[in-house]
Each structure stands twice: as C-alpha cells, then as structure tokens.
Structure 1
Amino acid sequence: MELKKGSSTFKEERILKKIQTVSIIGDRILFWQAALMSVGFISAMAYLFYNQSSELRLLTVGFMVSMLIHWAFYLFHKVSIMLNKHSAHLPALLSFLLFGFVAVYNPLHYSEMWVYLLFYPLTVALLNNKTLFATWTSVFLLFYFGFMLWDPTISLEEGFGISLIGRSLYAIGSCIVCFYFLKYQEWTHQKMKADLQEEHNSRLIKTLYSLVPVVERKSHTSREIIHTAADLMKAVSKKMPDNRIEDWEIDLISLLHFVSRIKYPDYLFEKQEKLTQFEFNLVQEHCELGCELLGDDESFTSIKEAFRKHHEKLDGTGYPHQLAGDRIPVFAQLLGITEAYLAMITPRSYRKSLTDYEAFIEISKLSNIAYDERVVVALRQALEIPEVEETNTGLVG
C-alpha cells in the first residue's frame, strides 16, 4: 500500500522552488553587499576630492577593488544557471568569499576587522535554510579562528589568551543569535503559510457548502452524511498511526465527496437496475469533478489523489483507471471503504439497511481483494466490532 502523499514529481518541484527561493534571497544579499562597497567607494571619492592625502588615495583604491570584486561576484551569481541540490550553496559560498576577502584585504586599514566577520552568520540566516546555516556557520567558525591566529593585531595585545577567548565568544554568540533568528523566520513563515491556507480553505468550503442544498434535493440525502463520513474516517485513521492524515483533509474530502455528485441525474440516486454505459460514465466523472473543484492548489495534492482513486480496488477491477496494489494510496482506501460502509447501513427505497456488524462482514469479504487488510482491520477497531474469523479473507479472531 502506498504510504507517501504526493508524487516524486511534486517533491522535486517543491525542492526546486526552495532552491529558487534561496537563489533569489542570495541575489539580494550579494547585491546589498556590493551596494555597501559602492557607497564606501563613493564616500572615499568625495573625501578625496577635498583632501588629496596618500591615505585617502589608498582607502579609495581599496574600496574600488572591493566594489569591483563584489559586483563581479553578484553578476556571476546572477547569470549562473544551476538548479540542482547543491546550487543552493552558491550564494552562501560567494558571500563567505566576499566576507573573507574584505577581512583579509582590509580596505579601511581597520585594526578590528574581525568584527566585520561577525555579520556573516546573519547573511546565511537570511537564506532561511537550516542545512545551509549549519554548513556555512561551521566553515565560518573555522575561518574565523584561523583569522584570529593570523591577525597580527591580536598577537600584539597584552592578555592574548583573554582576547582570543573574548573574540571566540563573540563568534559563537553571533551564530547562536542568528540561529534563533533563523528559527523565528521559519516560525513566521509557517504561521503566515498556515493563516493563508486556512483563509483559502475557508473560502473553498463556503463555496462547496453553497452547493450542498442542490445535492440534498437531487439525492434526497441529508448533509449530515458529510459529518458522519468525516467522523468515521477520522476514527479509522487514528487506528493507522503510520499513515497520518490531517483532520482538515478528511473534512474537506468528505464535503467534496458529497458535492461532487451534483452532476448525477436525479433518478440515478434511486435506480435499482444495472446502470447503462452512459450512466456509469457519469458516475466515474465525479472522481474528476471533485478534483476540478479544488483547482491547482498544491496543498490539496493528496486530497485530489485520494479522491481520484477512491473507487479503485487492490485487484485492479475498480475505476476509473483500473489501478491495483501500491498505486492506490491509503487515503483513497479510507474514503472508499467509508463510502461503501455508509451506503450499506443507509436504508434505500428498494432495500433495507444492514446493521453495523452485517455491513462490516460484507466489507471483510473484500479484504485484500478490494481493500487493504490493514484498512479493514482499522475499520473494525473504529466500529468496536469483535474480531471475527473469516477463512476466505484472512481475518482471524
């Protein structure tokens, strides 16, 4: 049975989007680093206009070299077309090289350039990627400690050991503070994403509920079946902890299942005879209609996959695509078995309803034929039905 939600293509698209996001943020970081050096160069040129000292000339040349290198790195990153799992490291690498260059080249001839290096963890944190942060702060710390040992100013100070420890604590503190900044960014992003998703879901649910009265009149079925189906699916899902399905997904697919029958002709809900080919095609269409109602939102991928496949059977005799075995996700099985069970215990004009036990016995006969045995067992546990022995199904009590 398929346990993963979504396809590998969907996962690849998400990874690609993350890489593209890092690349965009990296562009901005490198741009502002280059812009900062440009401001320094322009300021030095302005001072040089009023004061033609050799020190200012040296400072201006230093800023000019730094500015050109920064813009070269920015343009290199801008034109680089690398979309693989390693390309996200490019902006962090280029930024690190620029920080290292400025610290060593020291265009300001400032004796405390180690302070400038402390801002590097912040630039990596802005990329909003834990893997990048862990990798490049480790590289940064190694470079930083090496820079301190190389820095001639620190060796001239009295209390060399105390100064070394103090600067080391600054570097470690910078990494810790930036890590929590990264966590805060992540929390903010997730909260914003959740709020937007909740708002979008709310609008969609309101739209779907506007169609419920129409389906009630056509099918002579109360909307209470929506909540009944959702409650049962949640109860069954809890008996399968390895296949976590969110409650909001269950609520939405239950509503969607009810509304998707809106295209059925009125008579079809009470028809006792075998369906014609045209009528059967209409029934199959509701699998696709439900997916169309959800649109292209990626957060509904698992719901659409489950809805599209909830009439498929393990042995390949289902519809609309005759899928079999692992090609049918657990979520689809959950909806399919719930639909079948509720149909059996609901009275119709042409037949009596079955009891909970009788309905389960009928479903258990299809264990490992139409439904995965684990889903059947979870249904029994959710219904609190005693174990039964069915020699034809493999269910043993």
Structure 2
Amino acid sequence: MRNLNLKLKIYLVSLYVFTAISLSYLHINRLFIGYQTGYMKVIFFAILLAIAESLRVAYKGMAISTSLAVEIAVVILFGPVVASFVVILGFSLRFKKVDGKYRHLFNDPIYKTLYNYCCQIVPLLYAGMVYYKLGGSFDVVNLWSKAHLIIIFSIICLLLNTLLVSILFSLLNNKSILYFFIGNIRLSLLNSIVMAPFGALLAFMFDKYSYGGVILTIFPIILVRYTFYLYLELKSQYIETVDTLMHAMEARDKYTEGHSKRVAEISTLLAKELKYNDIKVERLHMASLLHDVGKIGIDDSILNKPGKLTQEEYEIIKSHPEIGYNILKDIKNLQDILPIIRSHHERYDGKGYPDEKQPEQLNLDVFIVQLADTIDAMTTDRPYRKALTDEEVINEITKYSGTQFHPKVVQAYLNILEKQKKAV
C-alpha cells in the first residue's frame, strides 16, 4: 500500500473504516438478522459462494459471476449482516484466475483483499436496509410476493458495487467516476436482473428441501453462467477479428501505423460529446478501427509512395472504402458498421466518394469518423508535410464546416478542445 497515491490511500482507509463501523453497529444491535442462522448453513453457503466466484467470467476488466444469486439467497434467509460474514468467508476461500493461473487469498496484498470484502459488504448492508424499509423480511414467507423487492435489492447492490469500483478506477486513471460507472453498468445490470430470480429460487429450495434443494437449483444457475461465458467469448472473438484486420492493414501502410487507433480515440470522444449511448460508442469505435481496412487491397507501390500521387493512382486509393466494404460484408458480426466503412469519405456537401451521397442519406456516425480521420491526418507528420498545429486544425475544420464536414460534429470537437483547455 506504500506505493499508492495519497488520494487512493485515503479512499481505501475510509472505505475500510466505514464498512467496519456499519457492520459492527448492525451486528452488535442484532439488526437485520434472519430467523434460521446456523454455523453449518453459513459455512455451506460460503463454500457455494467461493465456488461461484472461482468460476466467474472475466471480460474487459469486469467479472460476470453467478455469486450474486448466492448472495441474494443468503440475504433472504439470514439477513445482510450474516450475509456479510458469508461473503468474507466465501471470498477468502475462492480461487481466481489471473493470466491463466489460479490465485488465492494469500497471493494478494491485504489492502486488495480488504477492498474486495468492502465492495461486497457495503452494497449488501445498505441494499438490505432499503429492502427491509420497503417491507421485505428475511425469511421465505410470502417469498414470491416480495419479488419486486428482491429485484430492487439486487439493482441497488449493483449500483453501489459499481460506484465503489468506479471510484477506484477513477483514482487510478485520473478520469471521471461517471466515465467508469457508465462503462461498467450495462453488462452488470443484465447480470443483476438475471441472477435475482435465481437467488430467490435458491432461498426457497433451501428452505423447503434443505441442502439437496440447493444442489438441484445449481444446475440452471450453471447453465446461465455458461450462457454468459459463450456471449463474452463471442464478444472477445469479435474484438480479436477487428484487431487482426487492423494490424494486417497497418502492416501494409507504414506511414499510417497507429492511425486507426487514434481515429478510434477521437471518434469515441466525439460520440460521447454527442451523447451516444455505450452500445453506439462501442460500434463507432469498432468502425473507426476498421475504416481503412480496404487499403489491404491497394498495391504497395501506391500505398507507400513517398511523393505526390498521380490522378490515376489517387483514383485507385479512392477505391479503398468499397474494397473495405466488400472485405467485411460477409462477416456477420460486422454488418452494422458496413455503412460507416463504405461512406467515411463522403462529404456534407455531397461531393465525397464513393457514392456522392447527400447528408440526409448518411448517419451522423459517418461524419464522426470522417472528421476524426481528417483530424488525425492533419496532426500527424507525413512524408510530404509536417503536422499542423492545433490552431491550424481548428481553422481548417471551421473553414470547411458545412461543406466537407458536418457542422454538428465540428462543434462537438470544438467543445471537446474547450473542455480540455479548462481542465489543464
């Protein structure tokens, strides 16, 4: 912990103290404790939680786990205070996979372990309080009439957990909390909604059939976990396909190495400034990475020519959007980005290529990638000229706003620059 910055240390220590005080107060006053608590039951569910956490599915810094169903069941049966002790024991027993190797409690620094405890306990305690205040009880009496309260409980758990994780990432990366919160919430929300009914079912089966009932319930939960795994594997393969195509493209064009990534970064900033949702931002990011994939089909002598292109050579270069479209058109997962690939050299005044489309025929996505592509081209050294200054770039895009560029997208970029100046 000595290597952590001061803000991060303050956050972690504050979270530890807050969690300890909350848990101690509720435990001492015997608040929110279910009617059928027993040591063997606590140990049983802790082991179940440890297994669920050990089999979690990792994706883009997040982890999709069926452990939420176990936690919901434990809260319904025992209350959030006892559930917190189940979490501590369960997380202590888990094995997590990192870089292909399984790690356990003693492989991690104590501050990380304590943080993981807190990120689970605080949501359980305070979501449990809300659940109780809204009329929920910690038993299986009239369980199905409390279904809406269980869903509310699981969503509050999710929101609080995501908030605690987002604060950590914000301090580590010096970005806004909202940036990470929005980025993580969508997939986690799906996991939360799916696991809520399974948690209720788990509690009901345990109450009615004891340990055997839990074993029967495990099978559909494992099936859900496997479905999540297949979904995330498909997403990973999709991203790997994009990366492979992008690297193949940049290997051909030595002067534009890194260009696609920079265009994707600028496009993402523009999309967020224009209030795109996460799904549309991700789609635009993928399109930006692949916008020049058609250059794979251009001859090296033209693609890497150091001097000025002839008119004939320029016409060949202009064919790369159509070539890219034809390369990608039969890849099922890339269908929704094809219009962007084909049209990223169209203009707002209808004088672009390959189809000379009018702006009303094009989605705003096209103009986002078009401007991002142009900005990176202007701000990067080329064999025939030096990179333009920020002031020169602003003058150029302002001058051609309404002709080459979409005015709304130009204004979004100017807004981004203004915000960046204020942040310095």
TM-score range for the pair, normalised by the shorter chain length: 0.3 to 0.5
- Structure of greater Rg: 1
Give TM-score scaled by structure 2 length. 0.42
